[in-house]
Amino acid sequence: MNDHAMDAPYRPAALDKGTQGLIGKGIDRYEGPLKVSGTAPYAVEGAPEGTLYAHIVGAAIGAGKVLSIDTKAAEATPGVIKVIVEHPDFPSSGGSSREPMSDWTDQIDHFGQPIAVIVAESLEIARDAALAVAVTYETREGRFDPAEQTPVVDHKIGFLPNIVIGDVDAAIDAAEVRFDQSYTTPPHFPAALEPHATTAWWEGGDLIVRASLQVLNGARETIATQLGLDQARVRILAPYVGGGFGGKTGVGPETILAAVAAREIGRPVKIALPRRQTAALVHHRGDTVQRIRIGCDADGHIAAFAHDSVTSQKPDKGFLEPVHFGTIPLYAGKHRRFTTALTIVDLPSSGAVRAPGEAVGTFAVECAMDELAEQLGLDPIELRRRNEPETDPTSGKPFSTRLMLQCYEEGARRFGWDQRNPVPGQNREGEWLIGHGMAAALRGNFTVNSEARVTLTAEGRAVIETDMTDIGTGTYTVLAQVAGEMLGLPVSAIDVRLGDSDLPVSAGSGGSFGAGSSGSAVALACEDILAELARRMNAAPEELTLKDGVVSAGGRSSPIADLVRGKPIAAHGKTGPGQVSRRTSQASHGAQFAEVAVNAVTGEIRVRRLIGVFDVGRVLNEKTARNQMVGGMIWGIGYALSEEAVVDTRTGQFVNPDFGEYHVAVHADAPAVECHFIEQVDDQANPVGAKAVGELGISGAGAAVANAVYNATGVRVRDFPITLDKLLAGLPPV
Ligand code: MOS
């Protein structure tokens, strides 16, 4: 086992040498042909013979009690195999990663809470029979409107502490220039295209689930606990996952209920949540109210920065949107206060959605910086430059790597920022008002325990095995690139096996730590293989040159397969956080630029251009990394302009729980999007030197759009999303 926790910087020489020429290269997706030909099996595809279909019946009230459930008519429906109610293993809602689920209860604390499962020969029969289940309830008054609840600051949930340094209030009072504004963001749905789904079956006492999940090891623990099984009796298969958005970091009720039904009936059972049920049974990002107060001098040097937020959660959950997470290392300022208060609601749980914290936090902070710049008569980039910290302004720790200033500069140049008119509402093309805005992007970087096995086969191929998932992010491809570069093999000589909980435990896909953590485990395993190959070549590892399956050293060379000598060489790599992770402040950075056109008559907003320049450490695959960033940036368009989960505060029901009424930005909304990287290997982050990629894309993207809308119109909307009704009254005369 080559176990290297990040107690010191680490940098495999073979990656820097780049002899095979794979690292960073934008090669096509390893599994791409399977996906485009429809042959990559997702969670409910290619189910075993005789698999039954199940549908979850959800509570039709938001708060109260189930008095009776009459299943007779449902059971009598031809094709219905079984109706399950009041089962002890019945989960009432999904959990964030490793959070325990609740057991069956007749107490309803959110709309759509599972109360029965119909298992039938077909999906249509199951859904039809669900309508025949007659339920009576006793309702109680629900806490459905977060705005009406009293926020608690000292709440003890969530992973992010409140932070108070110095005396923010006094410093703001004493400041030459004061800023104080509040911003609100609505509940935000994860929007993975593959349904949250599971096929479950039992082999003897062992449970096998094919599920759409991001983190297999955590999920195995949750499933085993919920079903009262030994973890060794649970196997999860998730070779292909059609997006996660954080919604699949934990285990959903569909996984547990499919397993329960399969055990009760003795046949495989599959459940795929319909989109409308996803809103109730999968966590969403909580709504936020964010107050930003800044005190600075007339030149914009910040003395005090306060980011005080409120977000909501249901009573039994441990997660709290870490709203101020991205604000902590962002700007200078001696006096600092970052708090996120909690309101308790009777709504489906809030949870980790892609870029928890930064996605919403940068929204408010980056709009506030834009407003403050105007108040000071400063260019928004100049204000940020003047407050760029040299070390982490909250912890005082050195940054591992931070190219924020370079991102501003490069982005401004590429975008043509110097052409922007800082006076809003001045730039017209016919009835369109044109505006330009920018924002900083930041996403914290984590390295998470991750293991991988790499085996060099007798044929000279490499096999990578880890329980890591690829949720559309490019994991298969980048792991193949790392191993190929380390061992001097083309990608065609590498087999990547992922998404099986029986394989070495990885970080899983979450928190943008997947590529850096699991890629490092692969690199470390390969270093052990290199050491063995060097022994067999009677050379030192650093003397080896490996390319296209041939190992050379000291003027001799040998096909790698010959060196294997018939007996596969297997190695195990492991990485994880360590002292250097704790001693340094680590994040990815970037600058986002947007050009928008706002119709002066209708208020319609079209985003015309987005340019992002990002500092993500070593880029492992330029194409898949860019794909992640561009996706996040486009997501930011929807976040700024259309995504809004609306709660009916009378019933606690989301009124727009589908893609028809809840609009995620699509191709038609996306203009020309450019993403550029400024690469600097971060050897304090992890052995492959790659920092967080996936979640950085949305960070700041919405704020850049919002700031551009302001620049176009002179109307500042602080209540997101920026829909045209909020603009119309303030638009300048046509
Ligand atoms: Mo993420 S919100 O850790 O997928």
- Distance between CA atoms of residues 253 and 259, nearest Å: 10
pLDDT, tens digit (0-9, with 9 covering 90-100), for 324-366:
999 999 999 999 999 999 999 999 999 999 999 999 999 999 9
CA 246 / ligand 1 centre spacing (Å): 4
The verdict on whether 695 is a catalytic residue reads: yes
Does ligand 1 come within 6 angstroms of the Cβ of 248?
no
Cα(249) to centroid(ligand 1), Å = 6
What pTM does this model have? 0.97
Residue nearest (by alpha carbon) to ligand 1 atom 4: 246
**Nearest atom within ligand 1 for CA of residue 471:** 4
**Mean predicted confidence (pLDDT) in 512-535:** 98
606-643 pLDDT per residue, tens: 999 999 999 999 999 999 999 999 999 999 999 999 99
Q: What is the mean pLDDT of residues 192-200?
A: 97
Strands 80-85 and 114-120: antiparallel
Which residues share a beta bridge with 179?
294
Q: Which of 31, 366, 410, 695 is catalytic?
A: 695
607-617 core/surface letters (b: 16 or more CB in 10 A; e: else)? bebbbbbbbbb
CA of 293 to the centre of ligand 1 (A): 29
- Asked if 437 and 711 touch (Cβ cutoff 8 Å), the reply is yes
Q: And the tokens for 414? A: 């590429």
Task: Answer yes or no: is the C-beta of 190 below 6 A from any ligand 1 atom.
Answer: no
Rounded Cα–Cα distance for residues 380 and 703 (Å)? 12
What SS3 string covers 384-407?
HHHCCCCCCCCCCCCECCCCHHHH
Atom of ligand 1 nearest to the CA of 511: 3
Residue 246 in contact with ligand 1 by CB distance below 6 A: yes
> For the chain, what percent of residues have pLDDT higher than 70?
98
Ligand 1 contact via 354 beta carbon (within 6 Å) = yes
Which helix (H) or strand (E) is 450 found in, with range? strand 450-456
pLDDT over threshold 50, residue 97: no
From ligand 1's centre to the CA of 292, what distance in Å?
Answer: 25
Q: Could you read off the pLDDT of 225-275 as tens digits, one per residue? A: 999 999 999 999 999 999 999 999 999 999 999 999 999 999 999 999 999
576 pocket-lining for ligand 1 (C-beta < 6 Å): no
Cβ(553)–Cβ(536) below 8 Å: no
Closest CA to 288 of 327, 251, 253: 327
The residue to mutate among 196, 354, 475, having the most atoms of ligand 1 within 8 angstroms of its beta carbon, is: 354
At residue 539, the pLDDT reads: 97
Q: What is the phi/psi pair of residue 17, to 5°?
A: -60, -40
247 lines ligand 1 (CB under 6 A): no
Q: Kindly give the distance from the C-alpha atom of residue 513 to the centroid of ligand 1, in angstroms, as a whole number.
A: 9
Alpha carbon distance 469, 452 (integer Å): 12
**Atom number in ligand 1 closest to CA 509:** 4
Q: Is 472 in the pocket of ligand 1 (CB under 6 A)?
A: no
Q: Is the per-residue pLDDT at 37 higher than 50?
A: yes
Q: Which of 97, 159, 249 to mutate to test the pocket of ligand 1 (most atoms within 8 A of CB)?
A: 249
> Which pLDDT value is given to residue 100?
60
Is the pLDDT at 661 greater than 50? The verdict is yes
Q: Which ligand 1 atom is at minimum distance from the Cα of 354?
A: 2
Measured from the Cα of 353, ligand 1's closest atom is 2
Which atom belonging to ligand 1 lies closest to the Cα atom of 356?
Answer: 2
State residue 229's pLDDT score: 96
Ligand 1 touching residue 510 (CB < 6 A): yes
Half-sphere exposure of 220 (CA within 13 A, CB side): 23
CA distance 690 to 10: 12
The stretch 100-126 carries a mean pLDDT of 90
Angle at 357 between CA 413 and CA 155, to 5 degrees: 155
